[in-house]
Amino acid sequence: MSFADSILKARRLGASDLHLEAGTAPVARVRGELTPIGEVLAGAQLMEMGKEFLTADDWADFDSRGSADVSVVVGGTRCRINAYKTIRGMGLAVRLLSASVGDLRACNLHPDLRRLIAAPTGLVIVSGPTGCGKSTTLAALIEEVNESRAQNIITLESPLEYVFTNRRAFIRQREIPTHSPSFEQAIVDALRENPDVLVVSEMRTPDVMRLTLNAAETGHLVLATLHSATCAEALSRLCMSFPAEIQGSIRAQLADCLVGVVCQRLEYLPQWQLRVPQCEVLLASSGAKGTIRAGQFGGLGNVIQSGGDEGMWTFDRYQRWVEQQRDWVRPAAPVAGALEQGARIRPAAVRVSAPPGATRGAAVRPAASHAARARAGAASGVAAQPAGRGVAKPTPTPAADAPEEITIDEDLDLEDIAELARRIERRTPE
């Protein structure tokens, strides 16, 4: 069984995760339960699987630090993969992501969470334990902005998970370290890129936390994730990550810029055979800000309990809403034909490579789009060459003026192809 075969089998079962390790059988997480789905994998077989999606740079990371994070698309299924070393050899933890991004309604989240993205500036934290759907909730909040406001959104992710389509907003997605060497550098760069909304997929280090707080204070709406079990624990963990002598100033900074915190966990509803988020929501009321400044994080539970009229939710109150719901949105079932058709593996992020012979710091011009090349070919009477599926190939140019080569592995939109054909036929510019 190849890696692609394992992914397709797990996808058919409706699994959220797939675990592979040398010397053990593949295990899929279906509705929260782990289930074996195949025969025991040999170490050599798992290494061959790794070669299907790990690049030379990924292997270097794997050898040096014992793990590597990548994001790939397998037969139409987006996957976030952590390859790591274990006592038995190599292991793979694969998160199977939805093919499309949904809004709050599509993700079975309460519509009150729109309050979190209503503010023009400030910090919104999405927290919860590992595997509780933080990335999906973060993506749903981004999609809410995308559908309602014409703003510039910059996302910093490691690795890239969901790919967004511009609707009203303009979304620029950057993967760490594919497009920037670190979160610290990417946040500093993002503040020069005119963002309205900045998304930090995970605050892991004090440096990233401090830069995220600074960005929220300087007129941007910042969305970030953090591991925690409650809203109070998320804020406490953020402040306690700094040296004791500056924790007071961090609490004051956090109180000034905080918009709200949502902490979630997944609950399985047997009557619906569906896993849905169960949330606790803290909003930055005057009581919450005073409690944060005083460092009395244990008192935030009482703030949430008494803040129902202000839009706050305790886990118990949210649970009662869940029990009353009857119109849950079910995830789209995988299409068998689409899964079988091409189980090839391709990167989820576009990698940009400098042209041969380019000097460091020299200006690099992006390659012309396929549409522009087609128009140029039509104007000169030369038939446009069809591009390969989902791949834009630059036309040959002199070495002295070679443009940057950009490979785009996403599938082309059929409407774009039809419009391109009409433009070539008319031989008129856009």
- Please say whether the beta carbons of 74 and 3 come within 8 A: yes
The runs of H, that is alpha helices, within 122-182 are: 134-148
pTM: 0.73
Residue 40 located in a structural domain: yes
80 backbone dihedrals φ, ψ, rounded to 5°: -105, 120
Backbone φ/ψ region at 271: left (φ over 0), alpha (ψ -120 to 50), beta = alpha
Among 66, 97, 128, the domain-final residue is 97
Same domain, 58 and 90: yes
Same domain, 29 and 132: no
Same domain, 181 and 296: yes
Residue 356 located in a structural domain: no
| Residue 76 banded pLDDT, cuts 50, 70, 90 | confident
- The pairing of beta strand 17-21 with beta strand 89-97: antiparallel
Same domain, 278 and 390: no
Q: Is 317 helix (H, G, I), strand (E, B) or coil?
A: helix
Q: Is 213 helix (H, G, I), strand (E, B) or coil?
A: helix
Q: Which residues pair with 170 in a beta bridge?
A: 152
Among 39, 71, 97, the domain-final residue is 97
* 35-57 average pLDDT score: 88
Same domain, 83 and 123: no
* 129-146 average pLDDT score: 92
User: Helices (H) and strands (E) in the chain — how many of each?
Assistant: 14, 16
Residue 344 located in a structural domain: no
Range of the domain at 206: 111-313
Q: How much is the pLDDT for 341?
A: 46
Q: How much is the pLDDT for 376?
A: 43
CATH number at residue 73: 3.30.450.90
Position 16 pLDDT exceeds 80: yes
Residue 103 located in a structural domain: no
Q: 292: which 2 tokens?
A: 């944060």
Residue 422 located in a structural domain: yes
Same domain, 407 and 292: no
Q: pLDDT tens digits for 360-404?
A: 444 333 344 444 444 444 444 444 444 443 444 444 444 444 444
Cα–Cα distance measured from residue 91 to residue 115, given in angstroms and rounded to the nearest whole number: 41
Same domain, 83 and 138: no
Same domain, 119 and 85: no
Residue 303 located in a structural domain: yes
Same domain, 298 and 163: yes
Q: How much is the pLDDT for 197?
A: 97
Q: How much is the pLDDT for 423?
A: 62
The per-residue DSSP string of 331-386 comes to: PPPPPHHHHHS---EEESS--EEPPTTPPTT---PPPPPHHHHHHHHHHTTPPPPP
* 169-197 average pLDDT score: 93
Same domain, 238 and 262: yes
Which residue did the predictor score with more confidence, 340 or 320? 320
**Percent of all residues in the chain with a pLDDT value above 90, rounded to a whole number:** 50
Q: How much is the pLDDT for 78?
A: 82
Residue in the structure block whose two tokens are 């009321």: 285
Same domain, 121 and 214: yes
Q: pLDDT tens digits for 196-255?
A: 999 999 898 999 999 999 999 988 999 999 999 999 999 999 999 999 999 999 999 999
- For 242, counting Cβ atoms within 10 Å of its Cβ (0-12 exposed, 13-18 middle, 19+ buried), the class is middle
Look at the chain and report how many structural domains it folds into.
3
Q: How much is the pLDDT for 334?
A: 53
Which residue did the predictor score with more confidence, 14 or 242? 242
Q: How much is the pLDDT for 227?
A: 93
Buried-state track 245-275, b at ≥16 Cβ within 10 A, e below 16: eeeeebbebbbbbbbbbbbbbbbeeeeeeeb
Residue 287 located in a structural domain: yes
Same domain, 308 and 377: no
Position 260 pLDDT exceeds 90: yes
Cα–Cα distance measured from residue 416 to residue 407, given in angstroms and rounded to the nearest whole number: 18
Q: 212: which 2 tokens?
A: 């995220």
